[in-house]
Structure 1
Amino acid sequence: MITIVRINKNHLFLKTIPVPDIQCPLCKARGKMEMTFYQLQLEAGWVRDTKKISAAASCNGCQRDVPVVRWDKELDAFYKAEKKQITVKTSFKTGKFGKFLIWLNILFFGGVFLLFAGLFIYHRIAPKQKAGTGISREELVRQSGQFAAGPRTGDLVLVYLFNDHKQALFRIADINTAAGVIKAIVSDKSINVPANAGEVPVAEADFKPGNETSFSLADYKNLRITAPDNSRVGNVQMIYRK
């Protein structure tokens, strides 16, 4: 929402005093000048009397107003010295329209603040919300570490393969503790990281004969996939247990 309000500037008369022994920059007459002081007032549905003081100089000799751009050092010094002696009263008054604008702005900026606060809170809380199985993403990562420490036949293992630069899903088919080897079958489907085990897109037909592989049990417990020839194949991304 954009509200355009015109602000009027009023100059409230304060006083007029003579300017003694200063030469007029226009006619060069000395002792003929006077200076009038004003207080700046702003008006836009509300009225505010500010602390700002301005002045206008005129010459009774040549009957002309002296523009500020023609003021010399003496005239400017007189203005600054006299301005320090003036005490003005400030005030702020609102009419019906002014009160309406104030409340309109409060409601608008309050609504914007609540919107951004809500988005901030949502993004802080959303990652901690439960997935469909009641397990949060953080809990699933922690649980994967536990599953790796105690693997079981049928576990589904999401692995990032270094050479292929992609993720692959393995299903553990056999665990030979004595030999320290895990045998698994790799799925021929590419998947992303699901939120939980119930959402893993897996079917028996995805694990076809001929896609068997084996890797080190010890390294698997550290979330690493190492081939029988001790070459590093990839890293475990997630482990799902149905």
Structure 2
Amino acid sequence: MFIYYQIRNHHYRTEAVPAVTCPLCNHRGRMQMSILQKYTWLAGPMAPSAKYAIAWCENCNQYIPRVKWTDEMDTTYVQLKQGLRTPARLYRGLWVLPLLLVLLVGGILAAISISSGNSRANQAFVLDATLHPKPGDIFQVTHSAGQENFYTWYKVSRITADSVYMQEAKEHAVELNDLDDIPATASDFQSSEKSFSLAETRSLDGMFAKDENGQRAFDLVFGVWRDGKLHKKY
């Protein structure tokens, strides 16, 4: 994670100090001194540091390094910064940043709430579709029968009084995420049908089940494709 911030300068004043001698060219009367203060900018100004000065000579046109400052220059600096108070606005970011954090956290919580609401609505839709299937529905399922487990699709071909008949896809999905690649044509599904009892499906709370090859097979539904839209439990 990266946090972008800047170090900026607040300028208080620039004064001519003719009584000060330049320690570089030894010329008096051409010195200038500015009083400044550094502060951090992160969604607003904050954390101002101590005030400092920059001095330069108009005669030799050079800035005076801090290590070259004379006692005379130090005294002048102290006099110039007397009475200068740090503006309250340099602390404004201390209020702005918490506000931005509150807005960020609020936005995240709102997004989670919306996502959770959508998830619950989808779960209810998938359960209802499983209990009340329609011809043309395509269910995403994980098939389990003994040691056999795989992901596949079932397409509802017809419905009778208490049974739903479905055609299994010819190709199985390799991973769970592959189930979102819904088979598009009739040729993608087997011509033979599997029948499931709707009464048993309702008793299993939305899971298809039947006997296959002498053992009980279960098909857990993850989602349903209906009317051109995919509805997923998770």
| TM superposition score normalised by structure 1 | 0.46
TM-score, scaled relative to structure 2:
0.47
